[in-house]
Amino acid sequence: MTDVPMTQVGERLDALVNANEIVLFMKGTPLFPQCGFSSRAIAILEHLGQPFETVDVLADQEIRQGIKQYSDWPTIPQLYVKGEFVGGSDIMMEMFESGELKALVAA
């Protein structure tokens, strides 16, 4: 087994979500998203106009697996705002359309 203990990944993830107001765990990069759902998430964040950080899970297998357990969420992308898990791209879209996401990042 080459599995890294969950606590160690958990600490890395804690550090990432707490060091940045808005963090998107995604496949690829904002310029070159590698999946339609990640691409949609980036489009939403760009509309909001607030600075955000991204983490490419394809470049880090430990993060890629770890984040799913960390949030109890089976898919990528995943958005964190102010250290809290907000949801995946479907929830982002719903919250964007209702104005909730704008309020959340501006608060």
Beta strands in 17-65 (DSSP E): 22-26, 53-56
Torsion of CA 3, 5, 7, 13, to 10 degrees: -30
Compare residues 48 and 85 and give the one whose CB is closer to another protein. 85
Give yes or no for residue 91 binding another protein (CB under 8 A). yes
Give yes or no for residue 97 binding another protein (CB under 8 A). no
Give yes or no for residue 99 binding another protein (CB under 8 A). no
Q: How many chain residues interact with another protein (CB under 8 A)?
A: 15
Sign of the four-CA dihedral 79, 85, 90, 93: negative
* Footprint on this chain of another protein (rule: CB under 8 A): 36-37, 68, 72-75, 85-88, 90-91, 94-95
